Structure 1
Amino acid sequence: MLKYVIAYAHGSSSSLSQSPGPAALALLSIFAHAVVDKIKTDASSLTGRGIIVFKSILTSYLPSIQEHFSPSLDQLQYSTDRRRTLAILENLEKLFQWPSCVERVHVNYFDPSHYPKLTELLLKGNSAQRELQIFATALATKNQSASALWKQLVDSLEDFFEPEIEERGPDLSELQEWDVANEDPDDNQAFVLNLHKALWEHFLFNCQYEWESVITNLRLNWWSKEELAGTYAVCFSLFFLGDQRPENWNAACQWQDTQISVFKLNKVILVEPQEVDVAEAEKGTLVLLPSGASENSKDCDETVSSCSEDDDGDEFWELLGVPTQSQLKFAYAASFKYRGPSQAIRPSLRNYPSVSLTKLLGSEKFNDKPKLLLSFLLVRTLWQYYESDWMGEDWSKDSVHFMFNEHDGVSKVISVNEPFLQTRFNIVDQSNEIESTSKPTTVRSSKKQHKKHLKHQAKLRTHPYPKVLALGIMLLEIELGQRIENFGGRECNDSDEVNVLHNIGVKVLRNEKVWPPKGIYTAVKRAIEICIKPDLEVLGTNKKLLRGNFFHAVVGPLKAMVAGAWPNADTQEMNPIVFEDTDFSPSPVAGELSIHNTKTNNSGYAINPPAPPPSNSALNIGKPSVAIAGNVMATDSPITVDQWFENLDDFDYALKISKSRRNENCQPIKVAILDTGVLESYYQADQMFQKSIKNYKDFVSDDLTTRRENTGHGTNCIQLLQKVYADAEIYVGRVFQGSQATDNTHKLMAAAIKHAVDVWKVKVICMPSGFTTASQEIDDAISTAIYARTLVFAAASNLSNFTSIAFPARLFQTFRLFCMFSTIAGAKPTCYFNPAAHKKARYNFAILGEGIQVPPIHNGAIQNPLSGTSFSTIVAAGVAAKIIDFSSHPDVRGKIDDVDALCQVEGMSEVFAQMVSAVDNSYHCLTPWKLLRGWRPEDAEEEEMRLAGCTAW
């Protein structure tokens, strides 16, 4: 069968290169399955020193990859799968050709002749052990070319398991620039204007509830047309939320889902089906049937309401405040008429505030697909709503909102391709003494003064179209993944926010380091530049022609590009952002969930935010970089943190050694903490008593005279390490200047890792932080640590599922370092901190990281408990260092089979595996004293406990 496949593929190579259809994918699947199966089998038999990591990675990844290639020939459904498979085959072919350095031609189609070594391996049935052994030996001796190729192979294996968003169209990378679309015939601006005017007039004076305003979310990716009696209406989807007076703020949040059909005619009569008079319709009066009825209907659902002319829209208010899961349908011509209930277009969670775009910027879910779709929807929104009050001059990322809904059985998800435009209708206080007849005059006077102020401002503005500028800023923020304010700009000293934003936007566009970001599409880039600069040759100076010019220059190209990828951008499915089941703030006053952005720099800021607030608070992940201890207690648990450390004391008792028994072959383990530094006062105190801190280097300022620390986080980490492993020799590297990373933090961290390995000669490195984006420099530095037999521990992230596992912790999948998750004292993982466990990883280790108390670092100051994966990282590193120390003790040396393996991730992982007390939701929860096999100091002799420790691994 395989020989036939290879022969057929050889004969069909020209056609396969032209179109990767089902036959090509099937042949690729069979070939890849055979190659992976062969290498997996032969790799499992490799022996020898120094090849543990090489062997373990191949034998752990290849079986999972092999499962993907089913004999049913239908597994490689998307071109993304094809590219990833070809990348693995390419690197395996290079491995079998190594050390040959012949330059290979890149191909994006399958042809067996492109893989001569792999093809020969399959056809001749020879063993692959020889080639694998040669390469593994070179890798163990730090051969540079072997190391570079190995990294490429590991990267391709890791990429294969990255979560894949289901594509329902061509890959974005395969899109071409399409011809500009013609102007959209479905211009609904007249209906948009009429809807806002109707709601504003109705909300202003007719409110029947104790509301100060009505928050309105208008769906931007859905509307429909409805034809009746020679005319038609445009139907809009909206959510309403009453913003209550302060004395009523304890009421629960409850959005009301509605559809409003806006008709052209001025008169609407709602009647029963049998009373329809077509003649009335021909005279210009619209006869509106109840929802679901037809002119031929004989029966009418008695539950459908019928409004009379005397109701004058009161029923609109009556129903707006009634909690219901139905969607309420209204019609509007001269007034609002109720048409009955219906099923919602998309079920949303009504009792949760909506989330603004501001809060979602920086999420890793914003990859190419959601960025492009959301950008297009916002561009179209500006064109559709430009001349309406739905969109003020101050519209921004705070005006664009998203509703919570359910997706595939998972609650609390947000679909970024379903944006809403949020506005607020203020309500006139009915308790004042102004007569109702004078109210319109008062309102008109206020609006007149406001327009006068705007006219004065417009004379001083540097950008003629503030709404267009606001759109350009939003598109720029979406591409960069951060708020524009993070780039500064207050130095321009201007009271007009439009001028401030214009100044920042232009500066960002001129900054070659951040603009354009990697992978931006030409049409999007052009749209941003047109909107921000602005390009008046394109937009023109005549405001009456602006919408038409904007369509042809911005909307058209984007619409054509999107149409080339997906049939309908409004209904295109995409992977949602998933939130854990936590206590969100239900306050209807705020109107949105407090979720702060986490990515604040295009180079990739570190992302270990503060510990979680009390359970009644909204989720707050606003502070970046380094986890500062928050004012929290550990989650309720029958086991306290003190009890956890009492058990750790038993573990320490079994592994301890007196100073008198140490010799030159049995020295305390050197541990580096690369973080925010250490307080000078704490350093001086340490030198007087413990003398744990052996060296300090400031990579930020190169100051050799004084120790620095601006956050307290680094000092807390030192305290905790001393608590876990009292004998540790601590080396402190200051990499962060404050609680936020800068543009060069990646470089500083890489330099610190190499310094810790090459100069300090540490055995354990702690990185209680992480970055949103990967860094080749840090990656290379970690490789240096691996070859030096130095263990690296990194924090997973404190953002739950808001983002994926931070870099470099995510490298744990291939045994390059330890990624540490957090548990409470009862050895249960917390859903509040931890990102999701990686299903394909052999181990997802988690250890105590909540509610840990250490002495105050400032005299008289209250020290909040430490919580976060930063601190679980320190705890795990301390335990590992203690175990390595124990393995060198004179009475232990020789009783442990492979001591060197303890300084490799795979070897120490097997020891950690013996500590696992439970696997909870794929997290491997650690209790170190489990190594003692139940022995306790009061029940056993010291020698028995130490022997138990030796035989545990």
Structure 2
Amino acid sequence: MAPISYTPMALLLETARIIREIAKLLKNDDKDRELKHFYSRLMAHCLMVRDHANRIKAAIALDNELILRILALFESIVTTHVLRELSAFPVSSYFRLRALCQHWDKMRDQNDSIKLEFVKQCLNFGLASEQRDEFLESLENWEDDLTTQYPEDPSQWSKDDFGPQRKSRSEPSYAVWNAAQSLFKALMASKNCTCQPTHEFGARLCLGTYRKPDLDEDIDQDFDFDMYLSTQQDWQEVHVHTVKEAVVQFAVNDEELRPQKKKLGYKLMEVKKLCEPIEKIRKMASHRLDRLEFKVERGRLWKLRSERSSFPIDRTKAPVSLEQFIKEGSRSLTEKTKRILAVLLSYAVLHLHGTPWLQPTWGSSSIIFFQTASSTIPLRPFIQTQLVQEGTGDVAPELDRVLKHEEEDCDPDDCDPDEIDPDDVDPDDLVLHHCPPVVALAVMLMELYLATPFEMLAKKYGVDLPDGIQNRTLSIDADLVFQGCKSEIPENSQFRYAVEKCLDPKTWQDENGMKLDNQMLRTTIYQEVVWPLEDELSQAFSYISIDELDKIAQTLDFGSWGQSIQSQQAAACSPPNEFASPHDPQYFVGLQGYIQQTEAHAWGRLVADVPYIAQRPEQKMARKVDYKESKFFDDETLSEDHSPEDDFQKVYEEFVQKHLQNRLQSPVKIAILDTGVDLNHPDMDARDNQIKGKYNWFNERFKKMVPDHVGHGTHTAGLLLDYAPDAELYIAKIAEDKPSDPRMIAKAIDFAVKSWQVDIISMSFGFPTCDVDGYDELERAIENAHSKHVLMFAAASNSGANLNRAYPARDQHVICIHSTDANGNRSSFSPTAITDDTNIATVGQAVESAWPVHLCDEKTNPTFVKYKSGTSYATPIAAGIAAFLLQYAKLHLREDQLEKLKRQSGMKAVLRKIAQKSQESKLRDDYYYVALSLYSDNLFGKTEGFIKETIIDILKNS
């Protein structure tokens, strides 16, 4: 008898229940008053453990430290005697608890004396009262720690504790497996014909989550499948309805089982020759009836009335395989498309493992995407296979031997381990992987994440693969490649976790090393692979609903950065994206036209599972603001567009780009401390080689993921890409809708200086006062950066004359940036100039830059840009001008002169000179307005020699 396989949470719930039953049994039997009291307290604790576990189980990770800790505590009271009746099995986690659960389940019908004898041998709570009290105290400490981390009110939970959708997400229905199996068998039964030459039927089945959250997971349900069938090269669209059946039957001849005519108004036709309806529908294409409608019921295939195509493909263009996208290093493999595909492919294993639809050797070449008549490639994957008998597919001989060996093994539920002689088990068989499809999935996950074909990864890491496709499903070779490349995948990434689980043979075997039974296999696939990948998607793109993922994915163009596909139908819907989650700001924009497109939702509120509340503009204005609360300076809404970017670009081309072509120069490095960046934006994707580093200080659990949920960081990053087109950018996510506390910002500055070794730091935020907790640490970080000659730019504030400059812009080691219009006039929101100080300003009104794709209405804003005003946006422009000056110095000045320009005093002196149009010029609004152009009144409108000598002279005296 082998111990039952449990997930950690399931094992905890079962253990707490059993320990309580045992404590009740012991309390009723024992006469000692002190022991009775102990057992009563133990019973109460077990109830509390179960209550807490049920309360948090839907929200926490599978390997949560608190769950593992309580399991270890319970394991400590179970003796090794519990293992006496068990066959030899590999030692695994909590094997004594698993054995206890198995034994107790078998003993439920025994009398109390037998149970007591077993308990006294297998459990030891301690002989002395001090030992028993210590055990209860450990339980109490665990309960205290759990309630501290997970209070009764979920809104108080830490954002790092769970993914934004895990708390409410339900498991998918496993009935899809039966429906897909029935479909394949019905198609097989209908494909025989006498045509010559014989048809070779191909099938392409649409992959998806097939989530129906309102359904019971263990009951067969009706499921519809989209697919394509072919007899030659041309593919025919087919929609298949499957019908729920109490008992699945595949060979039925009874006439009374013919499907009933239910308000169809016509008689169904049984499909006996699959080629006939396919050929007929092709001839009827002129009537616009070009999608076959089938129904599978009781193992037979029935033809319904054909309908109009719902997915018009371009038959003149060949489908594109996932393998092609990966080989070409396509930019369509964005962060979003990678994660969506990972989830959909994991569901393919969940729903299709063990069916003919999913061969053990499936891979990226098996996954194809159709091109549509509108020249888009919807993110709608199909898996292609041949309609052949099970077991007759093209499987490599070595793998075929392994599979046949597994098929000959007895089912764990039917065989008795006591009959297996351990001496007859080949040790090599213990490392065989019991679920080859998940190995193939692991390979595809590596290919997706690294955007590199598996064979190239193997070559890169010196793994010599055998010939043939079987190398993709041999876990030993796949694991060798993974060991080589896993350093390129963040350690806390759910991609990495899923790959590790896929490749670990122990994940897919029971405690006896035997293949998991079907029910446990499905549970393991979902909990160890699908669920983590869902979390990876949810954490990166919180507005994407897992329950609506099938619909959302089909609206994205895989061939164009995963952008939304425009269609008349979608444009007519309200909200604009009918598949938007209520957490998506676009949902509210479409639903209520008077709601302005705001800075979206706050990640912190989302992960706490608090619904996003759309505010009218007047509600937002009326919100009471804490005087000490930090903010971004981006809330102005001036409408006129007057950015001087074109003039700057001409200067940059003249003095930098022309010279970069002739010599290699080390790039200027700029750190952006902001809300992250939308890496799926076309501008970011096209220039992703410039983004060299990312770090999420706001949520270090996902430190390499810097999604921008409000747009502020994407806008500032876009400006720096425009004003510093050859610089390297480093993204430090320090906020969502408002900046973080000063300590976190201090860490980001220290990291940017020490690890990234940046030249410039751009900070478009500020605190109204430095009298906030932790600001002393921020001051220390700023002083350290200044001592390393790192130039820091910060936004002045948007308070006009109501407040002075904000912090850290007010710090003497930081260059404060004010805002003007394109003519140098002070913006109404920009603070009043300070006497006897260098009040540097540049354009900050109606500045155009990138805006996150998911916050844009593609119909009205197909280029995904937005005009914004505020000192927040003057700051990255000033930082970009400084980057230009550093790059100019690297090209035209000596090293010692460059070092002087890197100092704050040198940079401010040069910026002041640029602002002076002549010796007689007065400051406009007491601002040094910095703008570059080739006009003769501008410094860079002079001759090259004059520019160089002027800057050298300034630096000499700075």
Shorter chain as normaliser: what TM range? 0.3 to 0.5
- TM-score, with structure 2 as normaliser: 0.37
TM-score normalised by length of structure 1:
0.37
